[in-house]
């Protein structure tokens, strides 16, 4: 299951990073491993809770835990099947859509339509429409700001040196925001708002300084010809891109891994406590999820390299940076409010935003339309598969 | 997986720059070609003509590839039709060079010695126009990088202004060279004179086409 997430979802999330060739594949893998874990552990709890109780009214079934266990197993089986089939067919699907579709399917068939929290489902669905939109607008704005401050000037290199710390600071804020506001709770550290803000600020500044150290290391020839200045600026953005990739994977970990392990945590708590305790779920479940995701990505790595290597992508680090940061920010904000959004969808929205700002050489609208179609298709297919899986399990066990 | 990478289509910017470079390489070969022709060294001229034909074919391959990879579903930072217009303007330059070399070789035409003092400056001015057009087109990737805004646009617009000046220059030279041919009309067979007029007209067309490339580029930027 989580293997499928890694192969399909995480690879998609890394696509802009790898497409811009800002970092090597090895570096990308390392970033993926570290920040996927960090994101899932530090930021994920809100989404898992939504997944457990938000979509279906599982308390109705607390006296019949077996049905719920069967149902969750069915959800897992259906999603795993669909994700792996989608990976095989080369269709990018979002785990979020698959899971929510499955849960709704299970809830409707087994518990009746009343058991589904339709208002919550509507919230999530609205989130799916608005998140790519918001990410697109953010990416558009971010790219225009980069353009206006750096690229249109007669001396882009000097301007880049002035403004890049600001963008570094922005990444730092996004990264530290979720860690501080959501993650510290897990270590029993409770801070008041002022302290939280101070910690966020301190972390952001630290990240800015780290980024600047990296940028200082970039070799610089004293007299650069006009045509090569842009290349030099892009080298700076490659550093930004690498850091943004961290934020993106972090956001993905906090959102998607947490989602993927949602049904598993329900089964676990049912089997151990015979009840639906909402509180702590064991860390090993999330760990399991992360290991699955990362191994999926690692195994798929070769294919990713081939695709990136063979395609002439017109994506420079600066554009990838604008798109990825916008997507990461949107996901982080959505996650912190407990709404599960799809990182992939958000990223596609952000890329379109940069494209609208005349930033990308060519975007294939037919492919993008197909991507959106596959997402819509995922909902009914996943719920249908879940019902079938549930009926099968029910016949076998019950 | 894989599909999400496909949402980045192949960028047409680099191929169109390559195409213009190929076209300009064709044009550049005209100078040694006519030098060989003046020396009546038909073997050398033939070799250069073959090179021109070869380069023109390469440009055609790029053109075909580019057209095939520009389906209507592609979302581009510039208008698709403008881009295709630019491509065909560039293509006309390469085709014209091939025509000129072909005409000379098939008729074993020579440039009358009395004309050579005006002919070669005129030829090199037309080559200048093509060079300037090539230079401007080569700024396309920088333009994309800056999102078709700001100082980069000004640089390209200045280049196009220079291109226009070069073209005006070549027009003046063309009318002058025509007058000189007119003065020679009694000395040469009529058919020779007819083709001389045609030849200088075609060489002048090179500068015209180069100017069209500049104009197309300007439309492309000012969307």
B13 touching A (Cβ < 8 Å): yes
Task: Let me know if residue B91 belongs to a domain.
Answer: yes
Residues of chain A with Cβ-Cβ distance to B7 below 8 Å are 348, 351, 363-364, 367-368, 371
Inter-chain contact A371–B1, Cβ cutoff 8 Å?
no
- State pLDDT tens for residues A214-233: 777 777 666 666 667 788 88
Going by C-alpha positions, the residue among A89, A112, A100, A53 that lies closest to residue A381 is A100
Residues of chain A with Cβ-Cβ distance to B77 below 8 Å are 355, 358-361
- State pLDDT tens for residues A247-284: 888 777 777 777 777 777 777 777 776 555 444 556 67
Residue found under tokens 């995480």: A10
CB atoms inside a 10 Å sphere around CB B209: 27
Torsion of CA B139, B142, B146, B150, to 10 degrees: -40
Within a 13 Å sphere around the CA of B148, how many CA atoms are in the beta-carbon half?
A: 19
Q: Give B140→chain A minimum CA distance, Å.
A: 11
Per-residue exposure over A229-257, b if at least 16 CB sit within 10 Å of its own CB, e if not: bbebbbbbbbbbbbbbbbbbbbbbbbbbb
B142 touching A (Cβ < 8 Å): yes
The contacts of residue A10 (CB under 8 Å, 6+ apart) are A32, A36, A249, A252, A256, A293, A294, A296, A297
User: pLDDT higher for A101 or A195?
Assistant: A101
Torsion of CA A225, A230, A235, A238, to 10 degrees: -170
- Distance in angstroms (rounded) separating the CA atoms of residues A68 and A81: 20
Phi/psi for B75 (5° steps) reads -100, 110
Inter-chain contact B7–A364, Cβ cutoff 8 Å?
yes
- Distance in angstroms (rounded) separating the CA atoms of residues B98 and B52: 6
Residue A183 has pLDDT above 60, yes or no: no
Q: Please tell me whether residue B83 adopts helix, strand or coil conformation.
A: helix
CB atoms inside a 10 Å sphere around CB A12: 26
Q: Give B61→chain A minimum CA distance, Å.
A: 18
B147 touching A (Cβ < 8 Å): yes
Average pLDDT (A80-85) is 79
CATH of the domain at B113: 1.20.58.220
Q: In a 10 Å sphere around its CB, with 0-12 CB exposed, 13-18 middle and 19+ buried, how is residue A216 labelled?
A: exposed
Are B38 and B111 within 8 A, CB to CB? Answer: yes
The mean predicted confidence, pLDDT, of chain B is 91
Residue B57 has pLDDT above 80, yes or no: yes
Cα B40 from chain centre: 26
- What is the structure's pLDDT at A61? 63
Task: Let me know if residue B1 belongs to a domain.
Answer: no
Are B217 and B86 within 8 A, CB to CB? Answer: yes
Within a 13 Å sphere around the CA of B39, how many CA atoms are in the beta-carbon half?
A: 11
Task: Let me know if residue B106 belongs to a domain.
Answer: yes
Inter-chain contact B10–A362, Cβ cutoff 8 Å?
yes
Residue found under tokens 């040694």: B32
- Mutation for testing the B interface, residue in A361, A368, A370 having most B CBs under 10 Å: A361
Q: Characterise B168 by phi-psi region: left (phi > 0), alpha (psi -120 to 50), beta (else).
A: alpha
B68 touching A (Cβ < 8 Å): no
- Mutation for testing the B interface, residue in A150, A364, A374 having most B CBs under 10 Å: A364
Residues of chain A with Cβ-Cβ distance to B12 below 8 Å are 361-362
Dig out the tokens for A32 from the structure.
């993926």
User: pLDDT higher for A330 or A23?
Assistant: A330
Residue A207 has pLDDT above 50, yes or no: yes
The mean predicted confidence, pLDDT, of chain A is 76
Dig out the tokens for A373 from the structure.
């179609």
Residue found under tokens 């330059």: B93
Torsion of CA A275, A280, A283, A285, to 10 degrees: 30
User: Is this structure's pTM higher than 0.90?
Assistant: no
Going by C-alpha positions, the residue among B10, B29, B13, B12 that lies closest to residue B138 is B13
A190 pLDDT band (50/70/90 cuts)? low
Residues of chain B with Cβ-Cβ distance to A12 below 8 Å are 1, 4
Cα-atom radius of gyration of chain B, to the nearest Å?
20
- Residue of B3, B71, B152 with shortest CB distance to A90: B3
- State pLDDT tens for residues A293-310: 777 777 765 565 555 544
CB atoms inside a 10 Å sphere around CB A307: 21
B15 touching A (Cβ < 8 Å): no
- What is the structure's pLDDT at B1? 40
Q: Give B111→chain A minimum CA distance, Å.
A: 41
The contacts of residue A265 (CB under 8 Å, 6+ apart) are A48, A52, A281, A285
- Residue of A87, A364, A370 with shortest CB distance to B74: A364
- Mutation for testing the A interface, residue in B65, B74, B76, B147 having most A CBs under 10 Å: B147
- Mutation for testing the B interface, residue in A152, A160, A252 having most B CBs under 10 Å: A152
Task: Let me know if residue B5 belongs to a domain.
Answer: no
Going by C-alpha positions, the residue among B118, B101, B117 that lies closest to residue B109 is B101
Q: Give A342→chain B minimum CA distance, Å.
A: 14
% chain A with pLDDT above 70: 76
- Residue of B5, B73, B152 with shortest CB distance to A365: B73
Inter-chain contact A303–B13, Cβ cutoff 8 Å?
no
- What is the structure's pLDDT at A127? 82
- Which chain B residue's Cα is nearest to A356? B77
Instruction: List chain A domain ranges.
Output: 2-367
Average pLDDT (A108-131) is 79
Q: Give A7→chain B minimum CA distance, Å.
A: 7
B1 touching A (Cβ < 8 Å): yes
Helix (H) and strand (E) counts for chain A? 17, 1
Q: Please tell me whether residue B33 adopts helix, strand or coil conformation.
A: helix
Task: Let me know if residue B87 belongs to a domain.
Answer: yes
Number of domains observed in the structure of chain B: 1
Range of the domain at B147: 10-221
Phi/psi for A370 (5° steps) reads -65, -40
- Residue of A19, A152, A369 with shortest CB distance to B8: A19
Q: Please tell me whether residue A219 adopts helix, strand or coil conformation.
A: coil
Residues of chain A with Cβ-Cβ distance to B148 below 8 Å are 358
A102 pLDDT band (50/70/90 cuts)? confident
CB atoms inside a 10 Å sphere around CB B66: 19
Dig out the tokens for B99 from the structure.
């025509």
Q: Give A271→chain B minimum CA distance, Å.
A: 35
- Distance in angstroms (rounded) separating the CA atoms of residues A238 and A256: 26
Inter-chain contact B3–A357, Cβ cutoff 8 Å?
no
Q: Give A198→chain B minimum CA distance, Å.
A: 37
User: pLDDT higher for A128 or A326?
Assistant: A326
The contacts of residue A337 (CB under 8 Å, 6+ apart) are A46
Helix (H) or strand (E) holding A99: helix A95-106
Interface size A-B, in CB pairs within 8 Å, comes to 137
Task: Let me know if residue B2 belongs to a domain.
Answer: no
CB atoms inside a 10 Å sphere around CB B173: 22
Inter-chain contact A153–B142, Cβ cutoff 8 Å?
no
Cα A257 from chain centre: 9
- Distance in angstroms (rounded) separating the CA atoms of residues A150 and A145: 8
- Distance in angstroms (rounded) separating the CA atoms of residues B13 and A353: 20
- What is the structure's pLDDT at A97? 79
The contacts of residue A343 (CB under 8 Å, 6+ apart) are A9, A12, A13, A94, A248, A251, A252, A255, A256, A327, A331
Residues of chain B with Cβ-Cβ distance to A374 below 8 Å are 3
- State pLDDT tens for residues B63-115: 999 998 887 778 888 888 999 999 999 999 999 999 999 999 999 999 998 89
- Which chain B residue's Cα is nearest to A297? B1
């Amino acid at each position: 299951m989580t293997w499928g997430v890694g192969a399909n979802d995480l690879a998609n999330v890394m696509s802009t990073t790898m497409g811009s060739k800002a970092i090597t594949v090895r570096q990308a893998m390392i970033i993926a491993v570290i920040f996927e874990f960090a994101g899932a552990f530090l930021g994920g709890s809100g989404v898992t809770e939504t997944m457990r109780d938000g979509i279906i009214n599982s308390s109705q079934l607390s006296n019949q835990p077996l049905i719920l266990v069967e149902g969750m197993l069915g959800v897992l089986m259906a999603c795993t099947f669909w994700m792996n089939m989608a990976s095989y067919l080369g269709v990018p699907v979002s785990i979020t859509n698959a899971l929510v579709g499955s849960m709704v399917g299970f809830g409707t068939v087994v518990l009746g339509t009343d058991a589904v929290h339709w208002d919550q489902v509507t919230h999530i669905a609205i989130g799916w429409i608005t998140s790519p939109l918001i990410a697109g607008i953010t990416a558009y704005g971010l790219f225009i700001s980069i353009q206006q401050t750096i690229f249109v000037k007669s001396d882009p290199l000097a301007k880049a040196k002035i403004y890049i710390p600001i963008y570094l600071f922005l990444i730092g804020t996004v990264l530290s925001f979720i860690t501080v506001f959501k993650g510290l709770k897990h270590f029993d550290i409770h801070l008041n708002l002022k302290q939280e803000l101070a910690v966020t600020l301190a972390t952001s500044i630290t990240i800015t300084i780290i980024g600047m150290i990296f940028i200082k290391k970039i070799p610089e020839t004293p007299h650069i010809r006009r045509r090569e200045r842009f290349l030099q600026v892009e080298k700076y953005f490659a550093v930004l891109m690498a850091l943004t990739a961290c934020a993106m994977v972090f956001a993905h970990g906090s959102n998607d891994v947490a989602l993927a392990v949602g049904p598993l945590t329900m089964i676990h708590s049912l089997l151990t406590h015979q009840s639906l305790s909402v509180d702590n779920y064991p860390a090993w479940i999330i760990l399991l999820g992360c290991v699955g995701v990362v191994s999926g990505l690692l195994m798929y790595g070769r294919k990713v390299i081939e695709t990136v290597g063979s395609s002439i992508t017109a994506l420079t680090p600066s554009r990838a940076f604008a798109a990825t940061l916008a997507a990461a920010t949107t996901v982080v904000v959505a996650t912190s409010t407990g709404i599960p959004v799809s990182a992939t969808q958000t990223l596609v929205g952000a890329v379109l935003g940069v494209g609208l700002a005349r930033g990308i050489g060519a975007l294939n609208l037919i492919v993008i339309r197909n991507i959106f179609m596959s997402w819509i298709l995922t909902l009914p297919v996943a719920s249908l598969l879940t019902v079938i899986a549930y009926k099968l399990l029910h016949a076998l066990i019950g | 997986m894989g599909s999400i990478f496909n949402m980045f289509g192949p960028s047409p910017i680099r191929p169109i720059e390559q195409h213009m470079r190929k076209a300009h390489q064709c044009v550049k070969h005209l100078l040694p070609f006519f030098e060989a022709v003046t020396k009546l060294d038909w073997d050398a001229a033939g070799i250069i003509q073959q090179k021109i034909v070869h380069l023109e074919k390469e440009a055609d391959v790029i053109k075909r590839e580019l057209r095939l990879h520009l389906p209507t579903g592609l979302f581009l930072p510039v208008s698709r039709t403008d881009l295709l217009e630019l491509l065909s303007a560039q293509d006309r330059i390469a085709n014209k060079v091939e025509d000129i070399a072909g005409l000379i070789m098939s008729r074993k035409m020579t440039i009358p010695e009395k004309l050579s003092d005006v002919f070669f400056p005129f030829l090199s001015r037309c080559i200048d126009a093509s060079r300037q057009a090539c230079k401007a087109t080569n700024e396309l990737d920088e333009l994309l990088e800056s999102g078709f805004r700001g100082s980069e646009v000004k640089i390209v617009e200045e280049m196009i202004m220079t291109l226009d000046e070069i073209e005006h220059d070549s027009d003046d030279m063309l009318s002058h060279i025509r007058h000189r041919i007119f003065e020679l009309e009694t000395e040469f067979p009529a058919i020779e004179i007819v083709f001389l007029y045609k030849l200088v007209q075609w060489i002048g067309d090179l500068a015209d086409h180069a100017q069209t490339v500049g104009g197309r580029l300007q439309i492309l930027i000012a969307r």
